[in-house]
Structure 1
Amino acid sequence: MNLWLLVSTTVIGCYALKLAGYFVPPAVLAHPQVRRLVELLPVALLAGLVVVEAVADGRHFDIDGPRLAGFAVGAFAVWRKAPFLVVVVVAAATAALLRLA
């Protein structure tokens, strides 16, 4: 399959999915359960991506000590309700210092 055809199809599919969101009736979004799901779904997807990046390298598991330590420190900072920039900086600094050592 041609790479540009694949990329174009993906772009059109993503745009169509986003456009479909505008056609959801407001009554559906008024339900508390649906609203809660819509609010939490991006958080769950982002958390899944972060965990995959923490323990995988391509298609293989990569148990990397400094990377996991940075992930743990970042998770602790999130748990303590630190601002996003602080979470990123302490996680990156932890991994960098452990790689330096």
Structure 2
Amino acid sequence: MTWGAVLALAAGTYLIRLTGLLLRGRVEVPARVERLLDLAATGLLVALVATAALTDGDGFAGWARAAGVAAGGLAAWRRAPFVLVVLLAAAVTAGLRLLGVP
């Protein structure tokens, strides 16, 4: 990729973000559209987490990682501190891999 393309993409990204800030108070969005945008953001986040948690390269990452992410998700849902969520997810994954679970 050339530097010109990188700079053009950077400028375009900046302008899109700036446009959102400038139009924030001027554009009225219907409540239904606002709700759909909230749901779309949540769906995108879930898809990113699922992809990162369940795949490694071109294949399935194994049950140990999925179980660790599930344990961390449960702890986060129960409003555990973030450090505890990360440590619990890592401990579950490491423990299962120590037991031979892929």
TM-score by length of 2: 0.69
Supply the distance in 1 between the matched residues of 2:37 and 2:22 (Cα, whole angstroms): 15
| AA aligned opposite 2:81 | P
**Residue 8 of structure 2 corresponds to which residue in structure 1?**
9
**Residue 69 of structure 1 corresponds to which residue in structure 2?**
67
**Residue 19 of structure 2 corresponds to which residue in structure 1?**
20
Q: Point out which structure has higher relative CO (alpha carbons under 8 A, 6+ apart).
A: 2
| AA aligned opposite 2:45 | L
The alpha-carbon deviation at position 32 of structure 1 amounts to 5.5
**Residue 97 of structure 1 corresponds to which residue in structure 2?**
95
**Residue 87 of structure 1 corresponds to which residue in structure 2?**
85
Supply the distance in 2 between the matched residues of 1:97 and 1:11 (Cα, whole angstroms): 43
- Whether the aligned pair in 2 keeps the contact of 1:29 and 1:35 (CA below 8 Å) is no
The alpha-carbon deviation at position 11 of structure 1 amounts to 2.2
Q: CA RMSD in A?
A: 2.7
Relative to structure 1, the CA distance from residue 67 to residue 31 in structure 2 (aligned partners, 3 Å threshold; closer, same or farther) is same
Q: How many equivalent residue pairs?
A: 99
TM-score by length of 1: 0.69
Runs of at least 5 residues in structure 1 that lack an aligned partner in the other structure? none
The alpha-carbon deviation at position 36 of structure 1 amounts to 5.7
| AA aligned opposite 2:98 | L
